[in-house]
Amino acid sequence: MSGQKIGIVGSGLIGRAWAMLFAAAGYRVQLYDILETQVATALVEVQKELQSLEAKGTLRGKLSAKAQFELISGTNELKQLVESATHIQECVPEQLELKRGLYAQLDELLEPQTIVASSTSTFMPSLYSEGLKRRSQMLVAHPLNPPYFIPLVELVPAPWTSKESVERTRQLMLSLGQRPVVLQREIQGFATNRIQYAILNEVWRLVAGGIISVADADRVLSDGLGMRYALMGSLETAHLNAPGGVSDYIQRFGGEIATVSASYGATPDMCGEGETLAEIARQCEELVPLEALPQRRATRDEFLTRLSTLKRQFP
């Protein structure tokens, strides 16, 4: 992999995580940022993080932390970053005009072999690549935070993204040990947020309706459904839950699913329901006070590490 150069545009939280994932697989990585000081800061942070992971025994890949860090360099010139790159992972803030401006710049600099993937959580790729010369080389590769421990990457093509760009990105993600999923066409929210928001909507309705507390609603996922979903999705779960597989499951439970689904009601107006939000926030803060959030995040990430190790043993 060392022959291949990967460029990272934006050296914030997600840019640094990608740099570590690529270096773990042995790629040569260059980091770029609009803020000169940010590149230097990012390199220091990445070095510390790699050393800490190595000390904890959770460093990915076969190379030492030192060898991985040696694969990562920085630049303050976009032109230099793009030069001879196989892949560029864009990680700039989630602002459409900012992304549009950057892609217009990249369009002038890109070489024919370079694919640009955006880490965007929300923008469909057509929103920033339409009208560009190199638009067939552009797509979304959306990670989940923290990417170092959550393997999913959603690949989302624009209508004009070439099949080759999608397939090469898929292979690249596999070479990192990530687990890419491919959407056949772009859709708002991609797949992850569409499913995540469906859950959030129903949890909101149940809490707002006084049916269940915040702690108990969350436990339905963390102590119940999530135990299975950490290993397999909702369709395989259904497939395993009836003697004759998923067709049998739907024959048995499809009527009940339709009846319950018809009772969900309207999509909650989360921004407009101030009282419900205040109550949900009160209960969340009882569970985790705001000042304890960093510690709780760290604990979650530590357990995600262990879970990802366990999951790798699951066939």
The residues that touch ligand NAD, with contacts defined as CB under 6 A, are 9-15, 32-35, 38, 91-94, 98, 102, 119-121, 142-143, 145
DSSP 35-99: SHHHHHHHHHHHHHHHHHHHHHT---SSS-HHHHHHTEEEES-HHHHHTTEEEEEE---S-HHHH
Residue 145 vs 213, nearer CB to ligand NAD: 145
**Cis amide leading into 268 (omega within 30):** no
In angstroms, what CA-CA distances link 160 with 85, 198, 227, 270?
Answer: 21, 29, 39, 35
> Count of CB atoms within 10 A of residue 129's CB?
28
Closest residue to ligand NAD, judged by C-beta, is 12
Residue 14 vs 156, nearer CB to ligand NAD: 14
DSSP 166-187: HHHHHHHHHHHT-EEEE-SS--
Q: Which residues contact 137 (CB under 8 A, 6 or more apart)?
A: 110, 112, 114, 115, 116, 161, 162, 165
Residue 108 vs 216, nearer CB to ligand NAD: 108
Strand-pair partners of 19: none
Residue 81 vs 207, nearer CB to ligand NAD: 81
The minimum distance between CB 12 and ligand NAD, in angstroms, equals 2
How is residue 280 written in tokens?
């949900």
The minimum distance between CB 153 and ligand NAD, in angstroms, equals 10
Residue 96 vs 260, nearer CB to ligand NAD: 96
The minimum distance between CB 211 and ligand NAD, in angstroms, equals 30
The minimum distance between CB 297 and ligand NAD, in angstroms, equals 11
Residue 26 vs 143, nearer CB to ligand NAD: 143
| 75-10-302 Cα angle (round to 5) | 115
The minimum distance between CB 72 and ligand NAD, in angstroms, equals 15
The minimum distance between CB 50 and ligand NAD, in angstroms, equals 18
